[in-house]
Structure 1
Amino acid sequence: MKKDENIKKVAVAAPQLHRHKVTLKIGNWKKYFDSNYVNTIIAMALNDFDDKIFFFINGYLITSQNLYLIVQTTEKSVDEMVSKIEAKIIHLLKTNPQKLKENRGEISFIADDESLFYAARKPLFKIYPLENDHLIKLITGRKVKLPYFDQNLESLKTMIQNHPFCSAIHYLGGIGPVKVTSFKDQIDSEE
């Protein structure tokens, strides 16, 4: 008998995942920085979850005003999930200093400006539900077809196809700034 045959395999129950669809309105802290820097910091924060925390991003879109997010996580409430994202953003702002915009009469570094950290404290976002079904489908790789022409839908499609901070890149076969777990990939990894 081989040694491996004596070892019993124990089945580990998969964690209970909760799906959240939220619109996070970016707070006033964004006005201190360039919009590309803000989008990059948010993308870095979304990628910064380690393997011990179950945080599967199924779709996202980061604009200058909002973060649209569809995730599956072990966090039961949206507030707990957003709190973890905010903590990561604050940590990244401290460890990746960027020059401030010239809206305060001078340029200083964020690390030297304690009043900015006071302004960038939680909450960094206002939480709203994501209720736009067309947006949800488009950022999760599904197509939206209507029997009639809808100008708003066409504008949304154009924006998403050309947006550098959107999960549509992943679903089209490219590599985007945020790691996305499509529904198919997530099912395959659980088996």
Structure 2
Amino acid sequence: MKKDENLKKVAIAAPQLHRHKVKLKIGNWKKHFDFNYVNTIIALALNDFDDKIFFYINGYLITSNNLYLVVQTTEKSAEEMVTKIENQIINLLKTNPQKLKENRSEVSIIADDENLFYAARKPLFKIYPLENDHLIKLITGQKVTLPYFDRDLEHLKNRIRNHPFCSAINYLGGIGPVKVTLFKDQIDPEI
């Protein structure tokens, strides 16, 4: 008898994943940093989850005011998920000190500045449901066609197509700043 035959095989249940579609309005902490630095910190925070935490990003768009997310996670509520993202951002701000904009002409180093971390404490985002179906479809790699011309939809398509912090890059075969779990032609009625 082989050693492998004596081992009992235990089936491990797959974790229950919950889909969240949220619009996160970026708080006043963004005013302390350069626009590109804020987007980069958010992208790094979304990538910084370890393998033990089930956090699959299916679509995202990071703008100057908002973070739009379509994710699957084990967290039952969007508030718990956002808390984890906020913790990641605060840790990144503490470990990667950057220049703080005090005003337009003056810049100072914030390595030991506790006032910044007071300004960057939770909540970093205000949570809203993401209800724009066209935006959800476009950032998750689906096409949106209407039988008529819609100027707002065309503007949204152009914005997403040319935006550097958007998951549309990944769905077109490129590599974006955030790891994305692609739907790969999976049609989901909830999206």
- TM-superposed deviation, 1:182: 1.5
| 1:1-191 equivalences in 2 (<5 Å) | 1-103=1-103, 106-184=106-184
Q: Following the alignment from structure 2 to structure 1, what is the Cα–Cα distance between the partners of residues 10 and 93?
A: 42
Aligned to 1:46, the other structure's residue is in SS state helix
For the Cα contact (< 8 Å) 1:94–1:110, is it kept in 2? no
> Deviations 1:129-180 (Å, cap 9, x if unpaired)?
0000000000000000000000000000000010000000000000000000
> Deviations 1:51-83 (Å, cap 9, x if unpaired)?
000000000000000000010100011111101
- TM-superposed deviation, 1:108: 1.8
Identity value in percent: 84
For the Cα contact (< 8 Å) 1:98–1:110, is it kept in 2? yes
> Deviations 1:13-61 (Å, cap 9, x if unpaired)?
0111111000000000001111100000000000000000000000000
TM-score if structure 1 supplies the norm length? 0.93
**May I ask how many residue pairs the two structures share in their alignment?**
186
TM-score if structure 2 supplies the norm length? 0.93
For the Cα contact (< 8 Å) 1:18–1:76, is it kept in 2? yes
Q: Following the alignment from structure 1 to structure 2, what is the Cα–Cα distance between the partners of residues 58 and 119?
A: 30
Runs of 4+ in 1 over 6 A off after TM superposition: none
Q: Following the alignment from structure 1 to structure 2, what is the Cα–Cα distance between the partners of residues 87 and 185?
A: 33
- TM-superposed deviation, 1:112: 2.4
Q: Following the alignment from structure 2 to structure 1, what is the Cα–Cα distance between the partners of residues 111 and 75?
A: 31
- TM-superposed deviation, 1:104: 7.9
| Structure with greater proportional helix content | 1
Q: Following the alignment from structure 1 to structure 2, what is the Cα–Cα distance between the partners of residues 143 and 154?
A: 12
Any stretches of 5+ residues in structure 2 without a counterpart? 187-191
- TM-superposed deviation, 1:106: 4.0
> Deviations 1:82-110 (Å, cap 9, x if unpaired)?
01100110110111111112418742222
Any stretches of 5+ residues in structure 1 without a counterpart? 187-191
User: What is aligned with 1:189?
Assistant: none
Q: Following the alignment from structure 1 to structure 2, what is the Cα–Cα distance between the partners of residues 130 and 27?
A: 17
